[in-house]
Structure 1
Amino acid sequence: MKSILFLILLGVSTALPAQTLSLTEQQLNQHLASQLGREFPVTLGSWLKAAVRLADLQVELGRQQPDKARVSGRGIVTLDQGEQQQDWDISGDFSARPRFDSKEGALYLDEFELLGYRLNNSGAGSQGGLVMPLLLQSLADYLSRYPVYRLSEQDPLRRQLQDQVLSLEISPGRLTLQGLDSLP
């Protein structure tokens, strides 16, 4: 009896079409463009505070590593050390792992790893070399709390995937969320 019930459920579940939603790099980058100009506060203890205003941000999917995204960006950092304030123009490259949060219906980037950075102005001096890796890692931690894409509640497929995502796959230039239709 149990095996018959299992076979019936297996037959019903395999008869259901798989629901997929593909997101391209272009879609993610369009969403990220809405974040440009926004200022992110970064605190590095009581002696150093900073605000980072994003000027450029791009995501590449699965091109460098098959299961990761590469995030490249440029930001203007206003560094505040008590009475001294400096503005730095920096560029950074990160590797990150995409994660879908089904409760929020949002795609996040986690596990940021700093790949490299460059100071685009010479005003930072030797202090920049000491502070920049720490500042960039703090910014990566901060950005991992904000989605790079949020599913729309208006689309029935997206609403369904929001509740029942089964897998997340990355291929060069594309991220795919896969789910199954729920039983009636």
Structure 2
Amino acid sequence: MKNLILAWLRLLFSCVLASSLLSGCNNLTQYTLSEQDVNAYLQKHNDFSKNIGIPGLANAHIVVSSLASEIGRAEPDKVRLSGNARLNIDTLFGSQQADAKLTLQAQPYYDKSQGAIYLKDMRLVDYQVRPADLDTTFRALSPYLDQSLKSYFDNTPAYVLDANRNKNEAMVKKLAQGLEVRPGKLVIPFG
């Protein structure tokens, strides 16, 4: 009986040890960026400011701020951004200002040579404009905004790995093999 109990305790100890070793392997096989990591980077590094519209008919200067990410939640393998936009609109009827809440969606992509994550094929999926009477004007401008945001995010990273910020990020740049989108995080597996 005593030998049976000792054998059972050894087996239990071995299982616990193996489990703890395997759970620690995640740090050796992948690097994870949370929504908070991406949001902090977006707040510091992405300043979208652009003139859009049809010259002489409807022009707008737009500044997008307060971007926040939602990774893999609304749609698998996609990143959604929400943010605020401030618009100064000039039309044939005069100048007006508007505020908008934007919802954008994109496909994240990891560029290994730069150690950067891009949000490719960005598109505007929803908006709310205040004052509401500018909704028609904003709708007319939205294709230009959509194209401008797509171009901006295709060429401006949403996150760049930096060896100076974190020694793990230096290793990630060397070992990274693609990008996976999981609810609430981006995972960079190692090769």
Q: What TM bracket, shorter-length normalisation?
A: 0.7 to 0.9
Closer, same or farther: CA 52–82 of 1 in aligned 2, 3 Å: same
1:24-173 alignment, distance < 5 Å: 24-35=34-45, 38=47, 40-47=49-56, 48-80=58-90, 84-122=94-132, 124=134, 126-131=136-141, 133-144=142-153, 145-154=155-164, 155-173=166-184
* Larger Rg computed on CA atoms: 2
- One-letter amino acid of the structure 2 residue matched with residue 134 of structure 1: P
CA distance in 2, matches of 1:167, 1:136: 29
More helix as a share of residues: 2
- Any conservation in 1 of the 2:85–2:100 contact (CA below 8 Å)? yes
C-alpha displacement of 1:115: 1.5
Runs of 4+ aligned structure 1 residues displaced above 6 Å come to none
For the residues of structure 2 that align with 1:29 and 1:119, how far apart are their CA atoms? 23
Structure 2 vs 1, CA of residues 121 and 148 (structure 1 numbering), >3 Å: closer, same or farther? same
Unaligned runs of 5+ in 2: 1-26
**Taking every aligned residue pair, what percent have the same amino acid on both sides?**
23
Distance 1:125 1:27, change over 3 A: closer
3-state secondary structure, aligned to 1:34 = helix
Question: Matched residue pairs, number?
Answer: 162
Q: Which moved more, 1:114-123 or 1:48-57?
A: 48-57
Mark the runs of 5 or more structure 1 residues left unpaired by the alignment.
1-16
1:72 is displaced (CA, Å) by 1.1
How does the TM-score come out when normalised to structure 2? Answer: 0.72
Under a length normalisation based on structure 1, what TM-score does the superposition of the two structures give?
0.74
